[in-house]
């Protein structure tokens, strides 16, 4: 039992949930290591949404709303941490949701789909085909889902797939606390923020953007600027860490 007044309450609850989901098979054991890396970067940005991340989240909403066929790609960590937030974003953006795994087994696909559905997500189903040219199983996707998407939101992504999706002409939006990762640098748009802060920010923006602002945000998207701003936030915090 984690006491509510513990100074690291949120972080401990997230770890507890991930550990439970790992025991149940939803989260890959490797996902626990990936979460730890994310936590370290979250410390560096101050565990809050920076101004540039807020702009990135609004831009992500604009891209999802302007897309012909937006798809949210969900892995084990994302389902464990944010099933409810994915349901809300699906309602706000009209995006399809597809489960896509690095450590893929049919059993994990089934468990993650069930968890998402229990939280109100409508999950695409069907026979996955190797439509993305990758040797590993992230290349497997649904023809009517990621295969047909023009904009794909891929939280906690793997760099190879991000590059492959872009090479197929798709716009890739990622959420990654590490602004130095290959994914962050390869994506069309990177939100350098924690998943459970970034998703509600995109959902809220979906409800508030008017068509003019939508167009302006998409036209002025500059991912290098957003990554530099995230790194500057971290540098600034480190410079004043002990004051």
CB of 126 to ligand PTJ, least distance (A): 18
With helix as H, strand as E and coil as C, how does 161-207 read?
A: HHHHHHHCCCEEEEECCCCCCHHHHHCCEEECCCHHHHHHHHHHHHH
Is the Cβ of residue 34 or residue 115 nearer to ligand PTJ in the bound state?
Answer: 34
Element (H, E) at 108: helix 106-118
CB of 215 to ligand PTJ, least distance (A): 28
Neighbouring CB atoms inside 10 A of 5's CB total 6
Residue 15 sits in the site that holds ligand PTJ (CB under 6 A) = no
Is the Cβ of residue 85 or residue 194 nearer to ligand PTJ in the bound state?
Answer: 194
Burial string for 124-147 (b: 16+ CB within 10 Å, else e) reads eeeebeebbebeeebbbbbeebbb
CB of 155 to ligand PTJ, least distance (A): 7
Is the Cβ of residue 30 or residue 215 nearer to ligand PTJ in the bound state?
Answer: 30
Residues composing the chain: 243
- Region 81-100 residues binding ligand PTJ, contact defined as CB under 6 A: 81
Residue 34 sits in the site that holds ligand PTJ (CB under 6 A) = yes
Is the Cβ of residue 22 or residue 221 nearer to ligand PTJ in the bound state?
Answer: 22
Span from 24-32, 53-61, 116-124, 139-147 in contact with ligand PTJ (CB under 6 A): 24-32
- What is the edge-to-edge ordering of all strands in the sheet holding 96-99? 96-99, 70-74, 151-155, 171-175, 189-191
User: How far apart (Å, rounded) are the C-alpha atoms in residues 173 and 176?
Assistant: 10
- Region 168-207 residues binding ligand PTJ, contact defined as CB under 6 A: 175-178, 181, 194-195
**Residue numbers of the site for ligand PTJ (CB under 6 A)?**
28, 30-31, 34-35, 37-38, 41, 75-77, 81, 101-103, 156, 158, 175-178, 181, 194-195
């Amino acid at each position: 039992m984690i006491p509510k007044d513990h100074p690291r309450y949120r972080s401990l609850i997230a770890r507890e949930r991930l550990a439970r989901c790992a025991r149940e098979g939803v989260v890959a054991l490797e996902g626990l290591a990936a979460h730890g890396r994310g936590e370290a970067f979250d410390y560096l940005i101050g565990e809050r949404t920076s101004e540039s991340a807020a702009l990135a989240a609004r831009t992500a909403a604009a891209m999802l709303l302007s897309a012909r066929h937006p798809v949210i790609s969900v892995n084990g960590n994302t389902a464990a941490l944010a099933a409810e937030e994915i349901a809300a974003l699906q309602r706000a953006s009209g995006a399809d949701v597809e489960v896509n795994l690095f450590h893929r087994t049919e059993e994990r696909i089934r468990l993650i789909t069930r968890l998402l559905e229990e939280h109100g997500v409508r999950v695409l189903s069907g026979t996955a085909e190797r439509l993305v040219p990758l040797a590993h199983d992230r290349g497997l996707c649904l023809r009517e889902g990621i295969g047909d998407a023009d904009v794909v939101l891929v939280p906690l992504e793997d760099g190879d797939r991000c590059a492959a999706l872009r090479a197929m002409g798709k716009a890739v939006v990622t959420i990654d606390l590490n602004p130095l990762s290959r994914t962050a640098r390869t994506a069309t748009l990177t939100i350098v923020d924690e998943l459970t802060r970034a998703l509600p920010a995109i959902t809220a923006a979906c409800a508030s953007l008017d068509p003019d602002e939508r167009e302006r945000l998409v036209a002025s998207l500059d991912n290098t600027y957003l990554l530099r701003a995230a790194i500057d936030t971290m540098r600034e915090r480190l410079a004043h860490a002990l004051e």
